[in-house]
Structure 1
Amino acid sequence: MRDLLRSVWNEPQAPDPPRRSWRDWALVGAFVGLAIIEGIVRQDLPHRIVWVPVAVAILPALLWRRSRPLPMVTVAFTGSAAATVLLGGEQSGIGAMGAMLLLPYALYRWGSGRDIVMGSAVAFTTAGIAMLAGDVRVGDAIAGFLVLSAAVALGLAFRYRARAKVRERERIKLIERERLARDLHDTVAHHVSAMAIRAQAGLATAETTPGAAVDALRLIEAEAASTLAEMRTIVRVLRRNRPVDDGDHTPGIADLASLAAQAGAGPSVEVEVDGEIADLPPALGTAIYRLAQESVTNAVRHARNATRIEVHVTTDDASVRLLVRDDGDGGPARSAGAGYGLAGMVERAGLLGGTCRAGPNPERGWTVTAVLPRERAAT
């Protein structure tokens, strides 16, 4: 209970309260005018000579209800209760005083935890004193407190709704950051790894075979161009207010053959696709490509003495299955290579309702398997 009270007391003020605008001035002007008109027209209004000035003096508190809710609640409710007590319990008949309900609403909507606790004590205490001084009937007192509580509940409801929207925006931002991290890892890490391997091969053969170094530079240039193209595609997707060019290409299963072409001097990459891929959802095709790309990159970087990498995709009416297998050595270095890559692969598969697993083969090599359902990706 103590922790709950402490959390309420330390609740920060709601962020970004609306600034005072002409609408607030118009609202106050309308209620002040209503109070004056009511005081002139209603001859039966008790102590109207007092209550009209009190209403006119209190209503401007609405102008600061969002920026300074506690002082405005204190001024308005204390002033109204003091007038009631001084007038021998005569309640205000000014209908414009109903605008005071906007103050407790603003207190709970925009105030901090301390403001809410202290403002609630002021509002309910002064309201109770005014009712006791005016000898208000029990039914009317209950109705008054219910109306005041309704304003409080409305303020809390809108405060909770605003916080829920903020949490949802933060959740969406987190998802976008995670997706960006996966895309950057899958694209940049793959191409940079290929460039590093080819640069090492070019340096190793530069003295004995000068032409090999030139070929390595050409391959590095091609990898760099591919990296820049995919980075531009990612940036265009993130900037959703800009149209995507017709030349932009999101890779899919049909592009898996490029993984074999990019193998270079490393282990050979064999790609096999069984089943129809023309009607696959684009998100599903891209996910399969990224999973295969990351698996091949890990195999090239970490599978020692590997000579062959198999990429096998099977499609049917329900799902798409990916299998990437190599014949390299395992060991601690291979397991350490999982890192963010494997975590990103599992996340990517999970977002589409699928699974992704990776581990050593019983005898030799490493296998990655992924199963992605068609139905989830289509939605």
Structure 2
Amino acid sequence: MDTVRRSIWHEPRPVGALPIGRLDWLLAGVFAAAAVVEGIVRPGLVWRPLVTLLALGLVPALLWRRTRPLSAALIGWGVVSLLSVLQLTTDAGDLGLYSMMAVLILLYSLMRWGSGREMVLGTAFVTAVVALGMYVAAAGWADVFGGSVLLLLFVALAAVFRYRADLWHRQKREIRNEERVALARELHDTVAHHVSAIAVQAQAGGVVAGLQPEKAAEVLAAIESEASRTLAEMRSMVRVLRDEETVAYAPQLGVADLPALARADTTPVVEVSLDGALTGLPPSVDTALYRLAQESLTNAVRHARSATRVGIDVRREGAAVRLRVSDDGQTDAGSTPEPGYGLQGMAERAQLLGGALSAGPAPAGGWVVEAVLPVEARA
């Protein structure tokens, strides 16, 4: 609410943000035709050519009502004030045209698209013009009340539509923020996993090159493969962000892709076990299980001290699916490290689906990450 209020009263509207559209041209054309016809056929109109010409001065104001709301209001209501001054100084009859009620549209536009400063200045000018017009017309209390209610009605209508538009823009910003957080999580999960695998292979390559030079080529091939997958996934995400390109979306990785994470020729060894009816899961749950397992494996490879084995176990338990990732690394008794961005992102991912995630040292040693997600995920 505070954001919307600041937007209404303080943030200016860019001049070029709302170009002159067909509706503006149509409105200006209809008004010009009505003013000319009324100026010709209305009986008893004093100074007919001058009044008609002044009325046509509202045409540019109607065209600028959204791009330059203050200028449009000053022009339109300035014409009204000029006619009131002429009527007062010459003691002539009514010099106004009924079609000039279009100045109410300019008041609406001022409150709808003007900045806070423009609204204050424009409202003060309109109030002075209205007071002058009522004085010239010797309006009674009933006319003053009715005219004020009409003006306030247009102001209230503009405020309602402005509030709804600002609220809509705020919701769009919130959706974009959520999308950025989701993208950051995906980048972290994907890139961190592959880069960690590259680092492990490179470390192993240094040892293998000295002891078994013939296997160095295999290590380099594994590094090249991981780097290529990382680049491919990053390029896919970047293409999603480019509106001008049509992206062919690849299917999201899921539980069925977890066996590809298994490694028997590295340290630590990675074992994957799938149990129960794990097919037909909702896409959100299926993808989340893979990403949680991938991130947990990345953390184990990077942080588990002296770990020789990492186990990934996924099993169906009634209306839920349990993921357990454990390693046999060394942990300090009684110490619980502060959760980093990875663990926080994993917990948020599980909570968004109505599940829960826990992470901590295992009683028998090592580190365990467990996530329980409902099969029928929260929308």
TM-score calculated relative to the size of structure 2: 0.85
State the match for 1:256 in structure 2. 258
Give 3-state SS (helix, strand or coil) of 1:330's partner: coil
Q: Which residue of 2 aligns with 1:127?
A: 130
Please show how residues 260-279 of structure 1 align to structure 2 within 5 Å: 260-261=262-263, 264-279=265-280
2:224 paired with 1:221: yes
Q: Say what the alpha-carbon RMSD is for the aligned residues.
A: 3.1
Q: Give the C-alpha shift of residue 307 in structure 1.
A: 2.3
Match of 2:64? 64
1:238, 1:370 → 2: CA distance? 30
Which runs of structure 2 are paired with 1:294-305 in the superposition (5 Å)?
294-305=295-306
Q: Does 1:166 align with 2:151?
A: no
Counterpart residue number, 2:352: 351
> Cα distance, 1:320 vs. partner?
1.8
Cα–Cα, structure 1 residues 33 and 8, in superposed 2: closer, same or farther, change >3 Å? closer
Distance in 2, Cα, partners of 1:72 & 1:214: 74
CA distance in 1, matches of 2:22, 2:228: 56
CA contact (8 A) 1:298 1:337 kept: no
Residue pair 1:327, 1:364 contacting (<8 A) in 2 also: yes
Partners of 2:193 and 2:297 lie apart in 1 by 8
The CA distance in 2 between the partners of 1:87 and 1:222, in whole Å, is 86
DSSP-derived class of the 1:314 partner: strand
* SS of 1:67 mapped into structure 2: coil
- Closer/same/farther in 2, CA of residues 92 and 144 from structure 1, 3 Å limit: farther
Q: Which whole-Å CA distance do the structure 1 matches of 2:108 and 2:41 have between them?
A: 30
**1:163–1:9: structure 2 CA closer, same or farther, 3 Å change rule?**
closer
Q: 1:195 to 1:60 in 2, by over 3 A?
A: closer
Shift of 1:287: 0.8
Is the aligned partner of 1:244 residue 2:248? yes
- In the TM superposition, residue 125 of structure 1 has moved relative to its aligned partner by 2.6
Distance 2:80 2:96 in 1: 12
Contact 1:236 1:244 in 2 (8 A): no
Unaligned runs of at least 5 residues, structure 2:
none
**153 and 130 in structure 1: CA distance in 2 versus 1, 3 angstrom threshold:** same
Structure 1 window deviating more from structure 2 (313-322 vs 296-305): it is 313-322
Q: How big is each residue's C-alpha offset from its partner over 1:125-147, in whole Å with a ceiling of 9 and x where there is no partner?
A: 32123113312233332222222
Task: Give how far 1:228 is off.
Answer: 3.6
SS at the partner of 1:346? helix
Q: Report how far residue 252 of structure 1 moved.
A: 0.9
Contact 1:13 1:113 in 2 (8 A): no
Q: 1:167 to 1:360 in 2, by over 3 A?
A: same
Q: Is the 8 A contact 1:69 1:107 kept in 2?
A: yes
What is the one-letter code of the residue matched to 1:33? A
In structure 2, the residue matched to 1:156 is 159
Kindly state the Cα deviation for residue 208 of structure 1 after the two structures are TM-superposed: 2.0
Shift of 1:303: 0.7
Aligned-pair identity in percent equals 46
